[in-house]
Chains A and B, each alone.
Chain A
Amino acid sequence: MDQDRRGQWLRGVLAPCVLALVAERESYGYELAQSLDAAGLGPIQGGTLYPVLLRLQRFGLVTASWQDGTAGPARKYYRITAAGRETLRHATADWQEFSAGVASILREGR
């Protein structure tokens, strides 16, 4: 995929995607990056991911706690809040409507 285009699209959808992943189960930054990559969004660098997590935390959509790893260093785990679930519900509905519109326009122009 064209990297500039991927970057622009990611800017719009990274926060809701991260929110959806922590809604499934609490997780830490590196694991979230791997999940996003595995889902096909490509590698997300720390410099992109953590500011998104910090903003979600600042607006009360996730909470964070430090937990010791089974082996290795303590990690900062993120968990979704009630406000986060509410935001995710709206974002998901909005995205479905928006992406359906984009898909239909792109189909027309083919």
Chain B
Amino acid sequence: MNHDGWLSALAHELRRRGVGGDAVRQVVAEAAAHLRDGGGNPMQVFGPPATYASAVADSVGRPRRNPGEVLLEARGITKKYGRQTVLDGVDLTVRSGEIAAVIGANGCGKSTFLAVCAGLTGVDKGEVRIRGSLGYCPQDGGTAGFLDAGEHFVLIGAGRGMSREEAVRAGHAQAAALDWEPARGKQARHLSGGTRQKLNLVMAGLGEPDVLLLDEPYQGFDRGTYLDFWHQVWQWREAGKAIVVVTHLLNQLDRVDTVLELTPARKAVA
């Protein structure tokens, strides 16, 4: 690989890992200066772009920025299924430009909490206030088996006041960011699980909603797409959106602003 090819691959891998624009420029310029001074093969001097980008991302840490106004506020959310209390007085506040991770063991109510925030599930007690528009990406479902991706974009776009062309164009641009080129006429039921989740994720972001609720949307993603997904989430944060992500993968937690840990369900004592 020549210097320029390696350097542009490095820039791409750094952005994938959420390194900010200015830091990317500096790291690439510094590597370029080093290679001009010392020569040598960048694969030997710095290693593969992905490996070096990971080392850099770990070293620079996450930039801090000032959070904005509160876009999502959940207060005292309590939800029971029969005698089982799934959520017991859960609070969460997410501001513009913040990512909240919802973590916890299987069955502790993560998806229920997100569905409550989305207004799809009622509560026994508590209140959710959302400021602005809302995008929701469910863990599964959410797609119509006999429609192709473009038709999904048009359908969801219509609900958000977008024209057909606008919705299709935005949908394809978002899909490309996830390394996916939707084929015309390919029905959703024929897509792989991972690709269907890409479709779900693109639909959640259509029309630039202010609040995004993402319920483990990366299931079935390969590693590269998983990084693209987090890159997308960080871009949404940069754009001032409030994002809630259900996740069980702890290695991304240093890249979020708030962590809400839910505890397993308790059965009422008779």
- Which residues of A are in contact with B by a Cβ distance under 8 Å? 28-30, 33, 45-47, 50-52, 54-55, 58, 66, 72-76
* Minimal beta-carbon separation of B38 from chain A (angstroms): 5
Question: Are A46 and B45 in touch, CB under 8 angstroms?
Answer: yes
Extra contacts, 6 of them, besides A45-B45, A46-B31, A47-B51 (Cβ < 8 A), are: A30-B33, A46-B35, A46-B38, A50-B59, A54-B56, A58-B61
- List 30 A-B pairs, Cβ < 8 Å: A28-B33, A29-B33, A30-B34, A30-B38, A33-B38, A45-B44, A45-B45, A46-B31, A46-B34, A46-B38, A46-B45, A46-B46, A47-B46, A47-B52, A47-B55, A50-B27, A50-B34, A50-B59, A51-B56, A51-B58, A54-B60, A58-B59, A58-B60, A58-B61, A66-B26, A73-B29, A73-B32, A73-B33, A76-B26, A76-B33
Chain A residue numbers with a CB within 8 Å of B37 are 30, 72
Q: Which 7 A-B pairs have the closest CB atoms?
A: A54-B59, A30-B37, A47-B46, A51-B59, A47-B47, A51-B55, A55-B59
Chain B residue numbers with a CB within 8 Å of A54 are 27, 56, 59-60
Beta-carbon nearest neighbor of A29 in chain B:
B34
Question: Are B26 and A50 in touch, CB under 8 angstroms?
Answer: no
* Minimal beta-carbon separation of A68 from chain B (angstroms): 11
* Minimal beta-carbon separation of B154 from chain A (angstroms): 46
* Minimal beta-carbon separation of A58 from chain B (angstroms): 5
Q: Which of A30, A47, A50, A75 has the most CB of B within 10 A?
A: A47
Chain B residue numbers with a CB within 8 Å of A47 are 45-47, 51-52, 55
Beta-carbon nearest neighbor of A30 in chain B:
B37
Beta-carbon nearest neighbor of B31 in chain A:
A46
Chain A residue numbers with a CB within 8 Å of B47 are 45, 47
Question: Are B26 and A73 in touch, CB under 8 angstroms?
Answer: no
Question: Are A76 and B44 in touch, CB under 8 angstroms?
Answer: no
Q: Which of A30, A46, A55, A75 has the most CB of B within 10 A?
A: A46
